Structure 1
Amino acid sequence: MANPSSSCPILCASFNQDASCFVIGTREGFKVFDSNTGKLFYERAIGAFIVVEMLFSSSLLAIVGAGEQRSLSPRRLCLFNTTTGTPLRELNFLTSILAVRMNRKRLIVVLQDKTYVYDLNTVKILDSIDTVPNPKGLCAFSPNLDGCFLALPASSTKGSVLLYNVMELQSHCEIDAHRAPLATIVLSSNGTYIATASEQGTIIRVHLVSDATKSYSFRRGTYTSTIFSLSFGPSMQLPDILVATSSSGSLHVFSLGFALNQRSRKSSSILGSIIPDSFTDALDPAHHHVLHSAVTAGVKSNAVIRHVDKVADASTTGIVSCKATISIITYNGYLQEYSFSLNQRNEPSWTLEHEFNLLSVISDDTSSS
C-alpha cells in the first residue's frame, strides 16, 4: 500500500493474479491497464484511492478510498463492477483498510490489528484473525485454490511470518525468517514458496511453505535498503527466478534454478559437505544479478515476472538458458518492461523493451470516465 502523503502521483498499484493486467489508484481516480500493451482499459475519475485490486481478468475490482473525499472513506471497501460502472457490495469497518486480496473463492481484508476472511461469492465472513500491529498492511496471498495461503506478520520486533490456510480456515505454521521486522513478503502463485525481506533489506530468504524449511538465502547488498517488492516467476514447480526492487533504484534478479543446479553439484564435493547451503547461498554472488538505476532511486516500485522461457540441456540436470519479461510500475507514474536473459554461462543481459507514462494514457472508451 502506498503512503497517501507521498508526493508521487500514484497512491497504490497492483498486478492481477496472473499479471495480465494491472491497476493504479491516484488522487483523481483509478485506472485498469493491459500489461502486454500498456493500453488503458478502464478509468474512473471520482476521487483518491489507496487500494485497488483486480480479480484476474474479470470486471470485479475491490476499491478503497483515501478519505480525501467524504464519500470515499478509507474504512469502506467497495466491490465494483467495471462493466456496469456500479458498486456490487460495500463493507464498512471500524478502522482503515490497509490491504485487500482476492481469488475466485476468498476475499481478504487487512486492518491494522485484525484480518478478515470472506467468501467472495456470498461476501459472508468466514473468519477473523487477530494480528500483531500491522500499520503497513503487510500481507501475501497465493491465488491458487490448492495451496491457498495467506501470510501475515507474526511479530512486531522480529521477522516472523504467520501462514494461514484460507480454504481450511486454520493456521498452517509460523516461520522465523529474519531478526529484524518484516518489510516485504510474497508467496509463489501456487503457495509452495514464500520469500521475505526485513527492514534491513540486506538478505532475501525463501522458505518452503509445506514444512517451513529454509530453501535459499540471497544477499541483496551490504548496506540497508528498503525492499519495495518481491515477485516469483510464474512456474507451478520451483520458480526459476525471484525479482526484487529496492529504494536504491536497482532491480535484483535471484536465479533459483541455477542455484538449485549448482547446489546439487556442490553437495557431492568435499567442500559442499562441510559448508551449509544457506551460508554459501547468502555469500555466493553467482545467483544474484543487478540492474543498477533501473528506476528512480527512492521512488516506490512494484515489479512482477510476467513470463519465463527456458531451454534445457539434455546432458545436464539444470537450466542452461533463461529469458524473463519483468514489468515494473513506478509510483511516479511509469510502466517499464525489461527483458532479462541468462545464458548457459550464467551471464546476464538486460534490455528495456517498453516504457509508458501511465498518467498521460487516454482510454479509447470515453464513457468510462
Structure 2
Amino acid sequence: MANQSSSHPILCASFNQDNSCFVIGTRDGFKIFDCETGKLLHERVIGAFIIIEMLYRTSLLAIVGAGEQPSLSPRRLCLFNTIKGTALRELNFLTSIVGVRVSRERLIVLLQEQTYIYDVNSLEIKRVIDTVPNLKGLSAFSASTDNPYLALPASTMKGSVLVYNVIDLQSHCEIHAHRSPLAAMAFSSNGMYIATASEQGTIIRVHLISEATKSYSFRRGTYPSTIFSLSFGPSADLPDILLATSSSGSVHIFSLGFDLNERTRKSNSFLGSIMPGSVGDALDPAQHLVFHNAFAAGVKSNAVVRKTEKASGTSMADPVALRATVSVITLSGYFQVYSFRINHKHEATWTLEHEVNLLTAVAEQ
C-alpha cells in the first residue's frame, strides 16, 4: 500500500508474508514492527520510500525511493540488508516502479506496462510480462509453494484478472470478476482463492483459482466506496472469513467457510463445500458484519486477519462461535489490533486490544 500524496505522514505500509511483522516508509526512512506486540524492531533514517517489501522475518528488504534525492530514484529497486545496513544489489529500470512482490523463490517488479519476474537468489530474469497500463501497481501475490500465483489486471475497462504461475512461468487463467476496473485483490494464504473488488466497491467476489469459478459474491454496500485492502483469515483450506477496509472508515467481515447460524448448511459434495447454498445466501446480510468508524473516513488503511479460532460446538456454555485477531495500519500513523468475536446468534463485538503511534514509537534498548 503506497501513498504518493503528502497528506499522510506514512508513504507506504505492508505486512510480511506470514503477517508476523510489518514495515512502514516515511519521508525520513523506514521502520519495522512486530505484529504481535506492536513493538518497533528496527528503523533506519536514510530518506523517503514509496515501496518497501519484507521477506518474512529475514534481514532482506526490497525498497524503492520516492525520488527526493538522486540515490533514491523511483526507477531503482534496492535489495537492502537491515543487519549490515548496506545495499546487496540494485536493479535499474527505464520507468518508475509501481509495485514489488517477493517470496523465497521469486522477486516481482511491476512497472506501468510491464512486470518482471526474477529468481530471488540469482536475480536472473525469468520472464517479462507485457501488461495493460497499471499506474497504481495493483497486484496480488501468493507466496505459497503449492500455488505460487501472481494476479494482475487484465483490462483497464473492466474487472478482469490475469492469474500467472510464477514458477512454471505460465498463464493459469483469466477471471472476469467485475464490470468496472479493479481496485483491490488478495489471495488466501494457501493461494487457492482470490478476492477482488472493483472501483465501485459495492460487490466483493471470491473465486476458486483451480477452476476459475466464482464461489462467493458479497455486497459491501449500496453506495460506491474505495476498497483499500482485502484479507482472508489464515486457513489450510477454505478460510472462515474475508476482511475488507474501505474509504468510509469501516471494516467489513464476510463469512466464507464459517457457518454463522447454520442457516446455510452445505451439501457433502465438493461443489457444496465451496459454493453458497444459493445466490441469495451469498448476498444475505447474515454473511456480512460491519465495524463502523474504525478509523477516519478517507484515510488509507491496510488490514489483515492474523488469527482465527472457531468453537468446536454450539453449546451456549461457550457462546463465542468464532474469534479473530485483526491488525490494521493507517497511513495517518497508527497500528491497531482488534479482537473480533461472533456468537451463535450472529452478534459481533469488536475490542481494541492495543494501539501504537507508529511515528513516535521508539525501539527498546
Q: Secondary structure at the match of 1:297?
A: coil
CA RMSD of aligned residues (A): 2.0
Greater helix fraction, Structure 1 or Structure 2: 1
Instruction: Give the AA of the match of 1:50.
Output: I
Q: How many residues were matched structurally?
A: 356
Asked if the contact 2:260/2:287 (under 8 Å) is kept, the reply is no
In structure 1, the partner of 2:97 is 97
Structure-2-length-normalised TM-score:
0.94
Aligned pairs for 1:4-153 (under 5 A) are 4-153=4-153
Q: Distance in 2 between matches of 1:350 and 1:31?
A: 28
Per-residue deviation, residues 289-342 of structure 1 (Å, max 9, x unmatched): 000000111000000011111112289xxx971100000000000001110011
Query: Structure 1: where are the runs of 5+ without partners?
Result: none
Per-residue deviation, residues 3-53 of structure 1 (Å, max 9, x unmatched): 322310011000000000000011111111111111111111111100010
Q: Distance in 1 between matches of 2:52 and 2:19?
A: 14
Q: Distance in 2 between matches of 1:45 and 1:211?
A: 47
Query: Structure 2: where are the runs of 5+ without partners?
Result: none
Q: Secondary structure at the match of 1:280?
A: helix
Structure-1-length-normalised TM-score:
0.93
Which stretch of structure 1 is more off in the superposition, 146-155 or 254-263? 254-263
Are 2:257 and 1:257 equivalent residues in the alignment?
Answer: yes
Q: Secondary structure at the match of 2:56?
A: coil
Q: Secondary structure at the match of 1:5?
A: coil
Moved over 6 A (4+): none
Asked if the contact 1:216/1:281 (under 8 Å) is kept, the reply is no
Aligned pairs for 1:180-329 (under 5 A) are 180-258=180-258, 262=262, 265=265, 277=277, 279-313=279-313, 321-329=321-329
Q: Distance in 2 between matches of 1:245 and 1:334?
A: 15
Instruction: Give the AA of the match of 2:178.
Output: H
Q: Distance in 2 between matches of 1:133 and 1:82?
A: 33
Per-residue deviation, residues 251-281 of structure 1 (Å, max 9, x unmatched): 101111235985753779xxx9xxx956314
Asked if the contact 1:217/1:281 (under 8 Å) is kept, the reply is no
Q: Secondary structure at the match of 1:356?
A: strand
Q: Distance in 1 between matches of 2:133 and 2:225?
A: 22
Asked if the contact 2:3/2:10 (under 8 Å) is kept, the reply is no
Q: Distance in 2 between matches of 1:345 and 1:314?
A: 10
Identity of aligned residues (%): 70
Per-residue deviation, residues 58-106 of structure 1 (Å, max 9, x unmatched): 1110000000111100000000011111111100011111111111001
Q: Distance in 1 between matches of 2:260 and 2:140?
A: 24
Instruction: Give the AA of the match of 1:236.
Output: A
